Every structure is written in C-alpha cells, then in structure tokens.
Structure 1
Amino acid sequence: MPPIKAGLIGLPLGKSLSPRLFSILAGLCGREIEYSLWECGTAKFHEAVAKARAEGWSGFNVTLPDKQLLAGALADKRDRAAGIAGSANCARFTPEGLEARNTDAAAMAAAMLDRGMDLTGKKAAVYGSGGSAATSAYVLASAGAAEVIFYARDPLRAGAAIGRLSAAFPAAVFSVAPFGPPDGAAAVVNATPIGMYEEGHLPVEPANDQICVDWPYSPGGTFFTRRAKELGAHVIDGMELLVRQAVLSLFLWGGCRESEIGDLIREGRKLLREKTGG
C-alpha cells in the first residue's frame, strides 16, 4: 500500500505538533504517512497547492493565514461548514478537483457532543475575527446558541462572516464587540493566536460551569485553559481539537476506516500528551 503524502501549509509553523501527531497516527493505524510542513504566506498559497498536487499528495491541512482562501474560489467543492463559515482547514485532491473541508468544525462539535454540552438559548463569546473564529461561531450556533458575539481586534473582518452565519442560522443573533470582557457568556472560545504564537492573555476570567474552548495549544496547557480548569470551567483545549481534526483529515485522505476514528482520537490524544508533556 503506497504511503499517504500530506502536509500542513501556513505561516508560522514553528510550534506545530502536526508532524509528531501524524507519526503517532501512522503507528496506530499501521499506515506509512509522509507529513510535511510548508511555511507559506498568502502570496504563494496557490503555488504551494499546485506543488502539493504535482508531488502526489493526497491532500493537506491549512492553518493561518489561508483557511478562508481555501474555502473560497480555490476550492471546487466544499462542505457545509466550510461554505457557511467561509473557512476550511483540510483539503483533498480528487479527479474532480480540490475538495475543501472544515474538520475543525467537526472536531469542536464532536468534543462538545461527547461532553453533553447544551447551548440552547444561551449566549456565547468568540475571541477572534479569522477563520477559526467564524468556524467556532458556526459550531456554537449549530449547538443552539441564541446569541454569538465576536470580540474582535479587527471588527470589519469579523463582520464579513456575520452575513453568511445569519442567513444559515436566522434564529440566532450575531454581533461584533470591542476586544474586552464577555458579558454573561455561557461559552467562551479563544480563536486568536494568544497562548501559542502571541504573548498576552485574553480579557477573560473564566467562571465555574462555563464552557471554555481554546484553539491554540501548548504542552502543559495555555494560561487560558489552566485558569479555566482552576475555576471549575468545562474545558476543550487545543491539543484535543488538534487530534480530533487530524484524525478526521486522515480519514478524508483514505488513511483509516470510519470505525477506527474513535479509537485513533482516544489513543492519539493519550500518546501525544505523553510525548509532549501535555
């Protein structure tokens, strides 16, 4: 069976654990996986995608800054989450063209479902204005949130996603607020680089029983997730989201069976934390 060739495209990638994670997954599922890191800014993103296809990649993952570019005109086909959020983090090459998927959305939704988290009629806060922020808003609205507020340092960028989200979820209210403390949110999501590629802290003091989701990851946890756990919040950390979306990506590329997904996520999380001290 030929190896699966894939990789991560984005900038910066210096703290990425994806190659280590896919090495773990290769051992768990008994497949050879060649997973590369390609640092690439927006100006050369199309060129990188063409090169990946030419080199026989099954597909690729995308991180900052091009999740929205992948979900846009570059894709020949996209899933519902990618279309509504305007963001995709995974792609595969097919005979019909490039298929974009938002496995980030599926990962966050599954993590919430596994914990029985119910946001029906509640308010949620999303920190950020890019693709991960829009993806988070999509998942929160899908989970029943009545109101989703983007706390954004770039309000215009956050506002661009609100039209698509409002059309898809007419019962929910989406808005943008200045980057500051959330007001009565049952769920708080960090979809900024703070905690991984950016120093500082969110203007958030987590609360007991609050749902706290953190897309950045760091061995041992970010300040946000450590503080949230100390105060009794329900935490979904970036390491878990990383593993979940990676396994879903691997499935998309034909590297595992659907029946193996749950075990790969469980064992992948365990082994990655052991190897990173996380």
Structure 2
Amino acid sequence: MTCLVCGSPKSEPHFGGNSCRACAAFFRRCFHSKKLVLGCICKRKPSNYHPCRSCRLAKCLAVGMKQENVNVTCEFVVEVFPEFQKLSSPDRQGLLHNFMLKIWNLEPIMDDVAQRKKFGKMDDEEIRNFMLPMFVGCFQKGAEIGKKDLWRLFGFYWRAYFEKLIEPLINLSLDSMEFMATIWILFFDHAYINISPSSSNLCWNIRKVILQELKNHEQEKACAAFFRRFFNSKKFVIKCTCTSKTVGSHPCRSCRVAKCFAVGMTPTS
C-alpha cells in the first residue's frame, strides 16, 4: 500500500493512519522534540522537493494519525512482555526515554536498508540533494544556514552514514525477525544507569529470552536451508549413521530429513 503522506510504495498502520516508517518517525519526532513547526514554505522550494514540516505534519493528521497514539508504545511493550508491567513507573519511563533516542537513529536506517538499490551507491552530489531538503524549514527566520555551509557542516556525517552504517547493514542481509530481535535487545538494555537494580535484572532476563528465540529462529533457517539443499542437490541419503557418531553431535542426513518430514515440511512448499 502506498504511503498517503509522502507517496512511498510501502506503508503500514502507524498511530491511527497508514504511512511509511519514515513519516511515522517524523510524526513521533514532532511531538517529542523541541523543533518548531513553522508556517508553510513550500512555495520557496523547488517543485520536486519534499513538503515542508508544516505540510507534512498536516498530511499526517489528515490520514488519521493522532498524537495520543504516539504514547501507546508502553502499552505495546506490556502486551508483548507482561513482565514490563512489574517495573516501577520511573523505570518504565526511563527505558522508553532511553530507547526513543536509539530508535530515532535506527528507524531511518531500516528504511534506507529497505531501499538498498536507491541508496547503495550515491556520489556526493546525490547525497547533497538527499540531505539539503531535510533542513528546509528547520531554522527560524533570520537564522537560516546556507546550502554551502550546511554541506560543510553535515556532508561528512551523511557520507559516513551511508558508508559506515547502510552498507554494512545491507551486507548482513538481516531478515525482519532478526531486525525485530535487534530492536528488542536495544530496548531491554540492562546497562542503563537511570534504572533500578531490579529493573536491570529483569532486562537481563528478558534479553536472554530474546536471544534464545533468535537462536531458535536461526536454527529453523538452517534446517529450512538444509531441506532446500537436499532436494536441489544430487546427493543421496544413506542409512542412519547416528550410532557411530559422538554424543552431542548433529543428527545424520537421514535422520535430519526424516525429522523435517515429521514436522510437516514438504518439497512442494
């Protein structure tokens, strides 16, 4: 489904409306940051530029996104991890506050990784055209910064952003489950200094559960890859050799294929 705010080809429900992740992150930042939403300045921008902050926020509200829905993050965490409700109110707020700083940086990275073909190899001119529109409308009248100075101040950061963050993440080829596990691990960080020791212990225990689930996911991927290779290769399945193997080693090919069939895996699927 197309994002109703910016026209991006991918969108999903966010804060009561449908939008892409970038517009959802923008909507969240509008109510958590101290930046001013100034009047419309679209007439002073080239026709192919993104809408200004004022118009983009108006579009977010027009598609049904609501400010009160920005605060449902805590409710969602409680639904997924009921233990979160056991924490004191200051600890819950501390975790959410610390996590928001991370997700503001991580969410745009995830969007850019999803558009890897678009951002994979950008030269300085393309990075400049991508970066400069983001600063339009961010300064009060009389305190604007020129394009040349903006590029001098922030150009190095954006080059490093694509070279040091986007490309390495693309090379990892993480799937959606691995990304989600990464986000939850970032959320339940037991090393925060503004939470109590009991909350730190709870975060540590939840992280262990997440890591175990991630391990199970990777094992499932490995078994699926084995099952796929089995039917795409010309190797034949010999008889069971488990009795001749040491205790604790993986099952033989014959037993592993039999287990794949036993759990419902089929060559046609």
The TM-score, its normalising length taken from structure 1, stands at 0.25
Comparing both structures, which one devotes a greater share of its residues to strand?
Answer: 1
The TM-score, its normalising length taken from structure 2, stands at 0.25
